[in-house]
Amino acid sequence: MTSLAAPAREARAATVDPSSGAALAQMQAQDSDTEDAGDTESSRSSEDGPALDPQTEADAAKNRSKIVVGIIAAALLGIVVWGRYVRAKRAKSG
């Protein structure tokens, strides 16, 4: 369903400077008008968020594995430092 106000909104959006904050407010107003018009399919998809392409998902998995490896490396370093501390303490007392 298109209304008579839709072409006017598009014309106003074309004249708004995209670098200004008014452009963002205009787009948000259009989004709220679209939801009021009963376009439930597009509002449902906007609630789900953007779909990630496979490359982005692969990068996310790669970053997650890097974090896990970093945590394991830090834990092992802590064990080594603690062991040296204990060994130095024993050597001093004995």
Per-residue pLDDT of 15-60, as tens digits, reads 545 555 665 566 666 666 555 545 455 555 557 778 778 888 899 9
Phi, psi angles (nearest 5°) of residue 28: -65, -35
Residues near 17 by beta carbon (within 8 Å), at least 6 away in sequence = 23
Position 62 pLDDT exceeds 60:
yes
The share of the chain scoring above pLDDT 70, in percent, equals 49
pTM, two decimals, is: 0.43
Q: 33 exposed, middle or buried (CB, 10 Å; 0-12, 13-18, 19+)?
A: middle
Section 6-23 average pLDDT = 54
Tokens representing 55 are 């490359």
